[in-house]
Amino acid sequence: MAASRPADAPRPPLPADPPVYVIGAGPGGLAVARELRERNVRAVVLEKSDRVGASWRGHYDRLRLHTTRRLSALPGLPMPRRFGRWVSRDNVVRYLEKYAEHHRLEIVTGVEVHRVERTADDGGWLLRASGGRELTGSAVVVATGFNHTPRLPDWPGRTEYAGELLHAARYRDAAPYRGRDVLVVGVGNTGAEIAVDLAEGGAARVRLAVRTPPHILRRSTLGWPAQYTGVLVRRLPVRLVDRLAGPVGRLSTPDLSAHGLPRPVTGLYSRVKQGAIPVQDVGLVDAVRTGRVEVVAAVEAFEDGAVVLADGSRITPDAVIAATGYVRALEGLVGHLGVLDGRGRPVVHGGRTHPGAPGLFFTGFTNPISGMLRELAIDAGRIAKAVEKTVTKAAGKAVTKSAAKSAAKPAGTSAAKSV
């Protein structure tokens, strides 16, 4: 009988040739690569930009995590206490850089994967990448990110609009808008924070165009972060959470109906399941109550230099900032494999794979109430465990096939061919 391996002994290396490819060097991709490395599975991270954490580097300066430092760390490396409870954008970037270095992850930058296909023998994956590269992997993890490609609605008249119109992805700080009239479109967390940043940064007038009023939560109440509640209720029935959240919301945040933000009719968790995460209040409530941020109707069109709102009014701001979200942009990459739903989102994620695409995994394409980074960390372990099984199974088949070929060769022949 073979001796058992001590619990703290390193795992024997798996024959993972070709390697597992991880597409994207953001938090999700780095976490998966680390978990695979822990299992001695070779993971190569492919990143189209020149550095890790590219999407985080592009966020606005004011950004801080709405999740706590402790519940935002990735596997194998806590975030430093000096970062504070609500970690800034710059410190998230520093952490991701340190994470890649600390775990000695194999990252190749400047490589963009355009398409993922099954190999000819259906035993692995072929990645077609920039520069004419064709890479063969035993498994693929797609971690290109929730905020991949800025989405700008195709408003009537938008292309003819001569005023300043930019997506929130291009916003950095309020300095260019001091003394100006600015319209922010969209009341997700990004739109809410940009509106507050503008109001505090000296904009002459800030209006916030809202189509559907959001649920607004305090980021922390009496020291209890909203994220903790999200973790506790995530597995509860949707209707139950909706019923519990109603009274809590009314107690924690004031009614802003008189200011154009009535309480939502749809329950909080029902909205989450529809893809709308509650807005974490980092100054929006006070800004709306004091009039520093004015709530207006949704944008319907651009016409003759003016912005036409849903209530029929027309306004002429100096600048329009569209906090209108992002698209996953996965259609060209994997759309032909039948693994996306009608909205372009992966049908399965985490440690599960689509029946028609074994060995193809997705992480970071949901926006859970319990916190994106926390769920990325959990998913990384699940994916690595599933990949390890996939690689081991594939290696076993390869060994069996090789042995069968050797046994079939006539005595005295050599497997090597002269060159």
Task: State the Cα torsion 71-73-77-81 to the nearest 10°.
Answer: -70
How many residues are present in the chain?
419
Q: Are strands 125-129 and 113-118 parallel, antiparallel or unpaired?
A: antiparallel
Tokens 């490819």, located at residue: 21
**Other residues' Cβ atoms within 10 Å of the Cβ of residue 330:** 21
Backbone angles phi, psi at 350, to 5 degrees: 70, -140
DSSP symbols for 21-55: EEE--SHHHHHHHHHHHHTT--EEEEESSSSS-HH
Domain 152-325 has CATH 3.50.50.60: yes
**Other residues' Cβ atoms within 10 Å of the Cβ of residue 290:** 10
Each residue's pLDDT expressed in tens, for the chain with a length of 419 residues: 434 444 444 444 444 478 999 999 999 999 999 999 999 999 999 999 999 999 999 999 999 999 999 999 999 999 999 999 999 999 999 999 999 999 999 999 999 999 999 999 888 999 999 999 999 999 999 999 888 899 999 999 999 999 999 999 999 999 999 999 999 999 999 999 999 999 999 999 999 999 999 999 999 888 899 999 999 998 899 999 999 898 888 888 999 999 999 999 999 999 998 888 899 999 999 999 999 999 999 999 999 999 999 999 999 999 999 999 999 999 999 999 999 999 899 999 999 999 999 999 999 998 888 999 999 999 999 999 999 987 777 665 655 555 555 555 554 433 333 32
Interatomic CA distance for residues 67 and 341, integer angstroms:
28
- What is the 8-class DSSP label of residue 77? B
Take residue 226 and report the two structure tokens written for it: 């909203």
HSE-CB for 380 with a 13 A CA cutoff: 27
Roughly how many angstroms between the first and final C-alpha of the chain, as a whole number?
A: 44
Q: Are strands 20-23 and 43-47 parallel, antiparallel or unpaired?
A: parallel
Interatomic CA distance for residues 63 and 370, integer angstroms:
19
**CATH top-level class for 20-148+328-396?**
alpha beta
Task: State the Cα torsion 157-160-162-165 to the nearest 10°.
Answer: 60
- The yes-or-no answer to whether 20-148+328-396 and 152-325 have a common fold is yes
Domain layout of the chain by residue ranges: 20-148+328-396, 152-325
